[in-house]
Structures are given as C-alpha cells and as structure tokens.
Amino acid sequence: MRLLVVEDEPKMARLLRAALQDQGHAVDTVDNGREALWMATECEYDAIVLDVMIPPPDGFDVCRTLRHRGRWAPILLLTARDGVQDRVDGLDAGADDYLAKPFDLAELEARVRALTRRGMAGGVTLLRHGALAYDQVGRVARLNGELLELSARELNLLEILLARAGRLVSKDQLVSHLCEWGEEVSPNAIEVYVHRLRKKLEPGGVRIVTVRGLGYSLEKTQTV
C-alpha cells in the first residue's frame, strides 16, 4: 500500500516512515499543509497519516479541502490536542480516525491496517479468491493452505490486484500504489514483479491475466 505521512517534526516523521515501511508500505512524507494538498491531489494514496498542527493550512483544513476535492483516501489524524471538541472537529472535517499524541507505534500501525482494510474490502480481514487466502492483518498469503513466500513488493502487488479482482489494473496504477514519490520504477520492472507473482499463484489455479496495452487482472482459472 502507498501511504502519505504529513508531519512537521523531523524526528517523528522519520520514525513514522520507518515503522510503516517496515510493515511493507511505500511511504511519502511532507511537512506542511500546502505540500500535503498537492501530493494528495496528484497521487493516489491508500491512506493518509495527517498531523493536525502543521504549517498552514493545518490538518483540519487539509482534510476538509481533500474531501471537497473528492479525494477519499482514509485519513488518520494525529494531534497533541485530545479534547472532545478537537476529536469532533477532526471527524467533522472528514477524518476517518483520530489518534492522540503520545501514542504507541504498534497502535498507529494497527489503525493504519484497519483503515486500509476498510478501503480494500469494507473491513473484512480475510480475503479469498479461489484457492488463495490473504490475511490483511498478518499480511500473510496462503495457496491451497500452504504459506506463500512473497517479497514485500510481491505482497503489495497481490493486495492491489485482490482489491480489484476481476477488474483491469493498469501499469500506471500499479506504479502509483507500489512506489514512493521520486522512486523510479520502469514498466519492465512492473512486468517482472507480475511475472514472479504469477508463477507463484498459477499452481493453485489462480492466474494474473495480461491484457496487452491495458493492464492486468486477477482471475480464477478453475473452481476450487
């Protein structure tokens, strides 16, 4: 999954980025509201971690503006202000969740997982597709009950295709969700990742179909 972290404290931004990257996510970071609006408008994120007290516009205004622009990526607000009215203001601005500082990184990671699950499958934690089962909490995939050994990028690719099973996903969409800002990933590299994942899924009757010039689709080749 591709995430945006908006945090103006450098140490905290580095900590959040490292923790979320360790979970297998691609993570972009910015430190002010103006850049946050630009990034979140230009790129398609699976979730946004947004500090309230950032250089203007603040987190509440960023959230309101993104919703007004029709950007519906789940937003987790971070703030040192934990009053009831602050939480109400954040949720009314369009945020999906609210976490007060200081917080435990494990809780933040769990809340991000919950938000991305909500975006993928309405909160369902175990996705099934033929012989394939994917646990979104543990980020573990099994084929015919056997554990699949997947690299972080292969796992992220599987998540994207599962979320859109039966629909075409273009190479541009894959790049958008797999890669951090400024990271150069060529169309050939995407083909390599798809090829590797395809080889691991096909023994279980699950295949990735290539539609030349359009993209890829995760489909079943047989009823299991």
pLDDT digits (tens, 9 = 90+) for 35-59: 999 999 998 898 999 999 999 999 9
Which residue in 199, 219, 196 sits closest to 209, CA to CA?
A: 219
> Is the confidence at residue 222, as pLDDT, over 70?
no
Least confident range from 79-88, 133-142, 178-187: namely 178-187
Q: Residue 109, Cβ neighbours under 10 Å: how many?
A: 16
Start-to-end C-alpha separation, the chain? 28
Q: pTM, whole model, 2 decimals?
A: 0.72
Question: In this structure, which amino acid lies at residue 143?
Answer: L
Let me know if 160 is exposed, middle or buried by CB neighbors in 10 A (0-12, 13-18, 19+): buried
Grade residue 13 by pLDDT with cuts at 50, 70 and 90: very high
118 vs 100, more confident: 100
Q: Return mean pLDDT, the chain.
A: 88
Task: Say what the pLDDT of residue 220 is.
Answer: 60
pLDDT score, position 224: 41
Domains and CATH numbers, the chain: 2-121 (3.40.50.2300), 126-220 (1.10.10.10)
pLDDT for residue 117 is more than 80: no
No. of helices (H) and no. of strands (E), the chain: 8, 11
